[in-house]
Amino acid sequence: MVASQISDVILAPARLDYTPEVARATASIFERVRRVIPEIEWPVHAPYIAAINELKRERNAIILAHNYQTPEIFHGVADLAGDSLALARQAARTDAEVIVLCGVHFMAETAKLLCPEKTVLIPDLEAGCSLASSITAEDVRLLRHRYPGVPVVSYVNTSAAVKAESDICCTSANAVEVVESLNSGRVIFLPDEFLGRHIAGQTKVDVILWRGHCEVHERFSAADLRLYREQNQDVQILAHPECPPDVLAEADFVGSTSGMIRYVDQRRPTRVVLITECSMSDNVAVEFPQTEFVRPCNLCPHMKRITLPKILHSLETLQYQVVVEPAVAEKARRAVERMLHVVERPTQ
Ligand code: 13P
Ligand code: SF4
């Protein structure tokens, strides 16, 4: 028998120790999250949380986390958390030298567009998005050719190259406002078909759609929602607009991830179900202990690529830096800034 050759050995990252100092340094964080993180898991998370929080101060770094990040990231190490719009605004305002974006790649790219002079890191470069990968810059050029003169509104869940071909960006929190700000009878909206249909139902503007879908939200069905209602007395159903239209029709409220949090905060329902990614309910439940969260679970595999060990690695090595080609960045930035201008203008 010929002995096989071993050319490389990949070591598992060293497990950090749960020392009494680490336990003390993270005790107040554990008190906050103990209803959503089992006590038995804390010795695994806590050493990373302590190390990350120390290193981010040394690096003058800020950690921005999307609402779909796991609770140990969201409550343990994030300086600021929110929906896509909030992350973009916070990135634009920070004084930190380094931004670690715990979310998916388009979010980190948006941060880089708004802070070109800062180091923007994503802990895993493979954290993509099915919507962002459903359309290319070339597709947008073809759409423009087919519908000359019709403005292009691109959802923030797109690459910088697609944003660069667009007139303006939007997020699910401001899509109708952005579409109407263009004063055009017709717009091309891309790439999320379901969000586009939802917008079309709320405006007189004629919306030309693209067939992109979120692989997480398209899996919910109207039958699922009816079942949650049947099985949970007085449940309020809140759905993200990336869900299919028949799902949205069954919901009591449709809104962005921050819109859902606002709804729970203002209405304080006894029982709620969030028709969106798994971690949302855990993260929000920490803030609202009186509300019962019914938890259907559709995971975003891209969001879940971000973990505490990868965040620590990112801060230690300053990897992986998000880079956008300057010519693309300049045009894409214009589309994002135009959106921020629309949402930040004083209301008349
Ligand atoms: P929000 O902007 O509502 O946070 O949504 C981002 C996203 O990727 C939803 O799937
Ligand atoms: Fe993209 Fe859907 Fe994941 Fe959001 S939940 S990042 S839209 S794949």
* 28 vs 297: CA distance, rounded Å: 28
Higher pLDDT, 16 or 315: 315
* Contacts by 265-268, CB closer than 8 A, 24 or more apart: 267/236
Q: How far is the CA of 299 from the centre of ligand 2 (A)?
A: 9
What is the model's pLDDT at position 15? Answer: 75
Q: What is the CA radius of gyration of the chain?
A: 21
Percent over 70 (pLDDT), the chain: 95
| Residue among 214, 242, 258 to mutate when testing ligand 1 (max atoms within 8 A of CB) | 242
**Contact in structure between 170 and 156 (CB atoms under 8 Å):** yes
**Contact in structure between 289 and 31 (CB atoms under 8 Å):** no
In this predicted model, what pLDDT tens digit does every residue of 71-95 receive, in sequence order? 999 999 999 999 999 999 999 999 9
pTM over 0.85, yes/no: yes
Q: Whats the size of the chain, residue-wise? A: 348
**Contact in structure between 102 and 65 (CB atoms under 8 Å):** yes
* 67 vs 261: CA distance, rounded Å: 10
* 22 vs 326: CA distance, rounded Å: 43
CATH number of 217-294: 3.40.50.10800
From 3-7, 90-94, 215-219, the region with the lowest mean pLDDT:
3-7
Compute the average pLDDT of residues 278-284: 96
Angle at 141 between CA 135 and CA 146, to 5 degrees: 105
Element (H, E) at 109: helix 105-114
What residues does 107 pair with on adjacent strands?
none
Q: How far is the CA of 24 from the centre of ligand 2 (A)?
A: 36
In this predicted model, what pLDDT tens digit does every residue of 23-42 receive, in sequence order? 999 999 999 999 999 999 99
Q: How far is the CA of 230 from the centre of ligand 1 (A)?
A: 28
**Contact in structure between 62 and 79 (CB atoms under 8 Å):** yes
Q: How far is the CA of 257 from the centre of ligand 1 (A)?
A: 6
Q: 92 by DSSP, 3-state: which?
A: helix
Q: Tell me which residue of 327, 318, 295, 340 sits closest to 60, measured CA to CA.
A: 318
Does domain 132-214+325-344 correspond to CATH entry 3.40.50.10800?
A: yes
Q: How far is the CA of 300 from the centre of ligand 2 (A)?
A: 6
Q: Where in the chain is the domain with CATH 3.40.50.10800?
A: 3-128+302-317, 132-214+325-344, 217-294
Whether the per-residue pLDDT at 284 is higher than 70: the answer is yes
Virtual CA dihedral for 72, 76, 77, 78, nearest 10 degrees? 90
Q: Which amino acid is at 336?
A: V
Assigned token pair, 106: 């388009």
Element (H, E) at 272: strand 271-275
Starting at the edge strand found earlier in the chain, the sheet holding 292-294 runs 253-254, 236-239, 271-275, 292-294
| Residue among 66, 155, 284 to mutate when testing ligand 1 (max atoms within 8 A of CB) | 66
Q: Whose CA is nearest to atom 2 of ligand 2?
A: 214
What is the model's pLDDT at position 1? Answer: 47
In this predicted model, what pLDDT tens digit does every residue of 105-154 receive, in sequence order? 999 999 999 999 999 999 999 999 999 999 999 999 999 999 999 999 99
* 131 vs 315: CA distance, rounded Å: 28
Q: How far is the CA of 172 from the centre of ligand 2 (A)?
A: 12
What is the atom index within ligand 1 of the atom nearest the CA of 84?
Answer: 2
Whether 256 is in the pocket of ligand 1, judged by its Cβ within 6 Å, is: yes
Percent over 90 (pLDDT), the chain: 93
Whether 214 is in the pocket of ligand 1, judged by its Cβ within 6 Å, is: yes
Report in angstroms the alpha-carbon separations of 225 from 145, 234, 237: 40, 13, 8
CATH number of 3-128+302-317: 3.40.50.10800
Assigned token pair, 303: 């969001």
Whether the per-residue pLDDT at 3 is higher than 90: the answer is no
**Contact in structure between 239 and 253 (CB atoms under 8 Å):** yes
What is the model's pLDDT at position 297? Answer: 80
* 237 vs 248: CA distance, rounded Å: 10
Q: How far is the CA of 155 from the centre of ligand 1 (A)?
A: 10
Whether the per-residue pLDDT at 12 is higher than 80: the answer is no
| CA of 87, nearest ligand number | 1
In this predicted model, what pLDDT tens digit does every residue of 305-348 receive, in sequence order? 999 999 999 999 999 999 999 999 999 999 999 999 999 877 54
In this predicted model, what pLDDT tens digit does every residue of 233-252 receive, in sequence order? 999 999 999 999 999 999 99
| Residue among 67, 172, 243, 302 to mutate when testing ligand 2 (max atoms within 8 A of CB) | 302
* 48 vs 29: CA distance, rounded Å: 13
Core vs surface per residue 184-202: b (16+ CB within 10 A) or e: beebbbbbbbbbbbbbbee
Whether the per-residue pLDDT at 212 is higher than 80: the answer is yes
